[in-house]
Structures are given as structure tokens and as C-alpha cells.
Structure 1
Amino acid sequence: MSNRREGVSRITEDEINELILELQALLPNSSTSRCNSRVTTSKILKKTCNYIKKMHKEVDNLSDRLSALVASGNINEIDADVIRRLLQHV
């Protein structure tokens, strides 16, 4: 039986810790201080997942509102074109 992990680089614990700190820094209202060891990796990952879910919902809501605005015809054609192009990238 061959080892499936052959040729796969392994991530070190230090690299994981650095990535966790980067995630923590991206979260709003989070302390990026290395001295703050009270926040566990698990909590940071949970907060990150919740934040991403929240951002997805916000993007969906804004997209729906913009689509409704375009459909209502209450905007000029130039603005409607800009909004359509933005919505294509979502």
C-alpha cells in the first residue's frame, strides 16, 4: 500500500498558528495581539465561518435589492448598466 501523502508538503504548527493569526486579523473587532492567548483556534475558526456566512447573506441581500431597483425602472439607464455589470461579478 502506497503512502498517499508522498510528495505532499506538510504544514507546520507554526504555519498553522500564523494562518490563524491572519484569520483573526481579518475579523472585525478582533485583537491581533499575539499576547491574547485566551482566544482559542477553535473560536477563531468558528468566528471566521460565522463572519463569512454573514457576509454571504449581506451580499445576497444587496444583490436582491439592486436587482429590484433595476427592475423597478426608478434609475437612469447609465446607473442601471453599472449595476448590471456589478451584479454579473457577484
Structure 2
Amino acid sequence: MSSRRSARASRFTEDEINHLIFRLHASLQHHSNSTCNKKRSAAKILKRTCNYIKKLQREVDDLSDQLSQCLASGDINAADADIITRLLRL
């Protein structure tokens, strides 16, 4: 019986899901180049969100590769070293 209660307690209501979808849509609008405000389905918003996350992951991978090459080359000036050090502390 307690497992049923915990399962119910962890479920989101439809309103909560709609609110989260709305927030995702607003975030995507903020980060996209388009100014289109037309209403989208939840499935399309989730798909765009997944695509945006994949794009960010590719950018992180590319930057990580560039950082590795920079560090391996040893051709780093003091300003670059300071920036890299501060970024790695985040």
C-alpha cells in the first residue's frame, strides 16, 4: 500500500506537465533565432528541446577538444592560462 502512495505522490498532474512544457517552450524561444510565437504541440516542443540539448552537447565536445589541443600544444599565453583556470574552477 505504501508503494502505491509513493507512486501517486511522484506523478505530475496534467497542469504541472503543461506548465513545464510552457517553460521549455519559453526557454527555446529565448535561445532560438526565430521570433515565431505560434503555439506548438508538446511533442514538438520536447523534440526541439532534445535537439537543442544535443546541439549543446556537440558544442561542449568541440570546446573540450579545442581545450585539449590547446593544453597539449603548450602554446598558451598567461591570459589564456588564467581564463582556462577560471573556467575549470566552475
Deviation at 1:74, TM superposition (A): 1.7
Contiguous gaps of at least 5 residues in structure 1? none
Give per-residue Cα distances to partners, 1:6-58, cap 9 Å, x unaligned.
0415422121111101111111246685xx33x11001001101110110110
Aligned length: 85
Q: Distance in 1 between matches of 2:82 and 2:19?
A: 42
2:47 matches 1:46: yes
Matched, 1:24 2:25: yes
SS class of match (1:74) = coil
Aligned-pair identity in percent equals: 55
Q: Which has the higher helix share?
A: 2
The CA distance in 2 between the partners of 1:31 and 1:17, in whole Å, is: 21
Q: Is the 8 A contact 1:70 1:80 kept in 2?
A: no
Report the RMSD for the aligned CA atoms in angstroms.
2.5
Deviation at 1:66, TM superposition (A): 1.4
TM-score by length of 1: 0.72
State the alpha-carbon separation in 2 of the partners of residues 17 and 30 from structure 1: 22
Scaled by the length of structure 2, what TM-score is found?
0.72
Runs of 4+ in 1 over 3 A off after TM superposition: 29-33
